Amino acid sequence: MLQSSRILRYIMDIKAYAKINLGLYVIGKRADGFHNIETIFYHINLFDEVQLSTGNNIIISCSNPKIPTDNNNLCWKAVELLQKELGVTNGAKIFIKKNIPIGAGLGGGSSDAAAILRHLPKLWNMKTEPSQLEKLALQLGSDVPFFLSDSSAYAEGRGELLQEITLTLPYWIVLINPNIHVSTPWAYKILSEQRNNVFPVRQRLFDKFLYAPIQTIIDSKNDFEGVVLNEFPQIKKIKLQLAELGAVLSLMSGSGSSVFGLFENEHSAQAAIEFFKKEYFIHLTEPYFSPLP
């Protein structure tokens, strides 16, 4: 029988950070219909603001009306999973100030859900083990486990097999989002069709990273670009313009539509921002960034 635990009644304000993919390689199709990938996840200084408090029911509100606030919301599902896992009936009141663009390859919804998994048990005055939260996170999405930690990570499998790495980039990161929605299932489908389900054998990304971390990042590719850039010339144009403006790397994050450029100095980064800011969503992350707890 579900019980109601003793609740600490206060409000918690949480920063749910976005991620970019420093390289993304699709290395094979799995028997379960998913694909195996390799990537490096890296947090950027762009975050949703999640206000969390306890309650008797699950109540979600959001600054962006396009975000569902019912049981289709990943945060709602996260609360339900915690209730079942911990055997309680406690609820939660959640407000999300949405700063991360939606469907942009930045993991915004996954980061919000992971924030609930990480912090709600504290408000319920209950303890959880990392293995418990990892199990619940994977039920919500392949990249949700990454957001349970503030560290960068090498990821393989569906993106859920993580190895934390020490990485702080010495670059200014200029993020551009053109407000184009790219369907991840569509991108996987077209990529598989193009390759006729035959995937190239590559040197393992993690081995290359250990040998030469920064050079591996500078040389990184995103397999989805071959699909997405052909379908969406506007995204391709942004990628090329970032390179022309001096980015040492311009790359799409996830399956798009966001593109980021790595710049060696602030002057070049600011020049890129000036170039793009009238038309697109822009965000700048400073060198050596790491999330605050």
Residues with catalytic function: 19, 143
CA distance 39 to 22: 6
Neighbours of 265 (CB within 10 A): 12
DSSP helix/strand/coil, 28 = strand
Ordered alpha helix ranges (H), 107-169: 108-123, 130-140
What is the residue-wise DSSP string for 44-65?
Answer: EEEEEEEEEEEESSEEEEESST
Look at residues 73, 150, 81 and name the one whose alpha carbon lies nearest to residue 112: 73
Q: What are phi and psi of 191, to 5 degrees?
A: -60, -45
Residue 200 CA neighbour count, 13 Å, CB half: 7
What pairs with residue 249 in β-bridges? 262
How far is the CA of 190 from the CAs of 85, 118, 254, in angstroms? 38, 35, 15
